[in-house]
Amino acid sequence: TALILIAIFVTSALDHRFGWSSVPPAASIAGNVMVLAGFWMIYRVFRTNSFASSTVEISGGQTVISTGPYGIVRHPMYLASLLLFAGIPLALGSWWALIPASLSLPLLAARLLAEEEFLVRSLPGYADYRKKVRWRLLPLIW
């Protein structure tokens, strides 16, 4: 995902330099709102879950967190990342940067599925949590 983020910024910069896109101000404002919402969600995840990290692992004393954003979707950090990946190109005024941003969805979905398999095997109570919180990533969708 780091390479995707770099590609978003490089594509946005090239788009600006060569004037490839004409993004309306309302779309740029929406992009900024998405970026703000993404960072706010990341803040909420870390406030709720002190075990959250970029590495999928189980620490001593770790328990299932089902409050805060984890009461809505099972992977709120990934949802926040999607908001950032979609919002940054719009905030920077680049339709073209949405192309590399779109690559983040299948990559995050694959990582999420692998993480869920690991958590079911390794974290006591996670299987029950999956029954309680139905949505993996997008409420009412998946």
Distance CA 118, CA 39 (A): 26
pTM of the model: 0.87
| Three-state secondary-structure class, residue 12 | helix
Q: For the ranges 9-13, 36-40, 42-46, 95-99, which has the lowest average pLDDT? A: 42-46
Burial of 2 (0-12, 13-18, 19+ CB in 10 A): exposed
Q: What per-residue confidence (pLDDT) applies to 58?
A: 74
What is the mean predicted confidence (pLDDT) over 18-32? 97
DSSP one-letter code for 20: -
Q: What per-residue confidence (pLDDT) applies to 55?
A: 67
Select the more confidently predicted residue: 25 or 62. Answer: 25
| Local confidence band at 57 (pLDDT 50, 70, 90 cut-offs) | low
